[in-house]
A and B are shown apart, each in its own frame.
Chain A
Amino acid sequence: MREAIQDSLTAGPLTISYGRRRILDGVTVGPLPPGSITALLGANGSGKSTLLRALAGLKAADGAISLGDIPLGALAPPERARYCAYMPQTLPPPIRMQTLETVLVAMRTDNRSRKSNHIAQALKILSDLGIASLAHHYLDELSGGQRQLAGLAQALARSPRVLLLDEPLSALDLRHQLEVMDLLRDETASRGMITIIVLHDLGVALRRSDQAILLAEGHVVSAGPVNQVVTPEHLRRAFGVEARIEISSDGRPMLLVDGVA
């Protein structure tokens, strides 16, 4: 592992407008060190997805984005694809391709290793996600949740240094949500990835992420270690709700939302 700070992701200040409307206004990100999970939080329309798309290079932004000394923001799409993998909020469409095939297509960005190696890697990811048995099923035969897992496999299989996930848990049942978050924890740590996840569930964010960035109306309300970001005061400002953080019986923080502020 290289020097942590040197390989961190930093961005901003980023400004993005759709027409005259400002979606992001001077948002700074990071430095986010390798091996850490960052939760991107905020109410609907606060700019979370736009920020994630900007970091993925899918949305042009005013401002620099860099990974260590690599100017990610200035790279052409094929170069950037070597470093970043992005999973959009929409589920993979139900097309006539087998799960394993779609993962192999996603891995085509990395041309260096051999196909049998690719298949071994793809299968490992699929089995880590608990969907190895679906490897030879067509996507148009899978449920929404299964397709979301397939989409996650496509992103993970690319071995990115920066993993950007937009609500990866939205179609999953409770057990799979936990499994996926645990897997992301492990993979993030073992590969030294910088993982950024847009999350709606603040409880999951509080328990399973290292840092958090809380957005409201295109501005950063708070950023830093997750337990310093998810606080009653910040949640009131970002979501307009009254909430408490209590320590649960296992000694970990727990979020209780009492009502509208």
Chain B
Amino acid sequence: MDGDSADVTSTSRPPAAPPETSFPDVSSPAVPSPEIETALVAYRSLQRRRIVVLASLLALLSVTFVINLALGPARLGVDDIFRALLGQGDAGAQTIIWRLRLPYAVMAVLTGLALGLAGAEMQTILDNPLASPFTLGLSAAAAFGASLAIILDWRLPFPFLSGEGAVAANAFLFAIGSSLALDAVARLRGSATNTVVMFGIALVFTFQACVALLQFIASEDALQDLIFWTMGSVTRATWPKIGALFVACVIVAPFSLRSAWALTALRLGEDRAASMGVDVRRVRLASLMRISVLAAIAVAFSGTIGFVGLVAPHIARRLVGEDHRAYLPAAALSGCLIMSGATLASRNLVPGQVLPVGIVTALVGIPFFLGVVLRRPAS
């Protein structure tokens, strides 16, 4: 937790020697040293508590992940699953694990991670607790892109894409386009956060109207497809998609963590952060780029899953506070956990049916959310 090494600010040496002004009386502080000891202990235990919370989230996630592999219509024993994972044993079991359960489970975790992290950064840089990829139009734009492919059969001129791949590519294109538009507005208006939020809301309504228009003219079959797409599902997971999302997460997450200090400073107020040497504009734009990539890919592959990006940050804030070194991982893990639990429920709630995960996410996530948010802080 004390990873103070990633210094986002210091670049070159100043032209003159840095100031030698430190506290003249640090050696004989007015605060008695037992008090400093106490505070030090309190601070360290706070950090430890955060690590424990993160570890617990990770442990819970592992449990839901394993249950995701274990539960399903076909009854597989633990040893069947292990053997299938190692590529041995019954071919049927291998197919179930490698084609169905494992991709769903992995996709759920990665989608949750991407949306949780994107939501957490978005709420920080826009200084708005209601910001998320869903509320600022990325999901709506993706749905419009998907509906263009599903209903009008309009697709990108990529010959190697067909069917679902084309739908995902369309969705991605529109999601990234809408976040580039958000980005452009942020640049244009000197990154005034309220303007960006208002513009995002305008995007939501615009794309919703466009989707409704397409739905109105759609054939019954296409409409069915589109509605299923917009409900969000991890059953479209394939290993190439998983690979793409995984690569995106692996590339983006370290940059997020590297900006943790700057983002934390931003929470103290924009001017305060700027006075601490944070290049607010650059931090905000870089963060918006990260959000765009994560959210656009996640939404393109899994459809509209609204709840995670909005709620995971709130859960994280309650659990570990807003030091972004802990808050960002906690939001990502909370997102994973919600998605993993939701996938579990979506596959097992109705026997023989896989419910769209978008429906279940809210139903599974809300008790968790209310439990954390409505709990009186222990003070």
Q: Which residues of B contact A82 (CB under 8 A)?
A: 14, 18-19, 277
- Interface presence of B80 (CB below 8 A): no
Binds B, one of A37-45, A107-115, A209-217, A218-226: A107-115
Residue A84 contacts which of B30, B36, B275 (CB distance < 8 angstroms)? B275
- Interface presence of A117 (CB below 8 A): yes
Q: Which residues of B contact A71 (CB under 8 A)?
A: 15
Interface string of B183-196 (1 = CB under 8 A from A): 00000000000000
B271 and A78 contacting across the interface, CB-CB below 8 Å: no
A96 and B272 contacting across the interface, CB-CB below 8 Å: no
**Interface size in chain A (residues, C-beta < 8 A):** 66
**Interface size in chain B (residues, C-beta < 8 A):** 50
B276 and A95 contacting across the interface, CB-CB below 8 Å: no
- Interface presence of B156 (CB below 8 A): no
Q: Which residues of A contact B163 (CB under 8 A)?
A: none
B164 CB to closest chain A CB (Å) equals 41
- Interface presence of A206 (CB below 8 A): no
Interface string of A47-62 (1 = CB under 8 A from B): 0000001001110000
A83 and B22 contacting across the interface, CB-CB below 8 Å: no
Interface residues of A in 66-99 (CB under 8 A from B): 68-71, 75-88, 90, 92-93, 95-98
- Interface presence of B43 (CB below 8 A): yes
A92 CB to closest chain B CB (Å) equals 6
B35 and A121 contacting across the interface, CB-CB below 8 Å: no
Interface residues of A in 133-150 (CB under 8 A from B): 135-138, 141
Residue B26 contacts which of A108, A117, A154 (CB distance < 8 angstroms)? A117
Dominant SS at the B interface? loop
A105 to B8, CA, bound (A): 13
5 additional A-B residue pairs with CB within 8 Å, beyond A57-B275, A88-B275, A138-B377: A87-B272, A90-B271, A92-B268, A100-B39, A106-B272
Q: Which 3 A-B pairs have the closest CB atoms?
A: A81-B277, A86-B275, A78-B277
Task: Give me the interface of A with B, judged by CB distance under 8 Å.
Answer: 53, 56-58, 68-71, 75-88, 90, 92-93, 95-98, 100-102, 105-106, 108-109, 111, 113, 115-117, 119-121, 123-124, 127-128, 132, 135-138, 141, 151, 154-155, 158-161, 164, 190-193
Task: Give me the interface of B with A, judged by CB distance under 8 Å.
Answer: 2, 4, 7, 9-12, 14-16, 18-19, 21-26, 29-31, 35-36, 39-40, 42-43, 46, 127, 261, 264-265, 267-269, 271-272, 274-279, 317-318, 321-323, 377, 379
What are 27 A-to-B residue pairs whose CB atoms are below 8 Å?
Answer: A53-B271, A71-B15, A76-B11, A77-B274, A77-B277, A77-B278, A78-B10, A78-B279, A87-B272, A88-B269, A93-B268, A97-B267, A105-B265, A108-B4, A111-B7, A111-B10, A115-B4, A119-B39, A119-B40, A120-B29, A124-B26, A127-B35, A132-B31, A138-B377, A159-B22, A161-B19, A190-B24
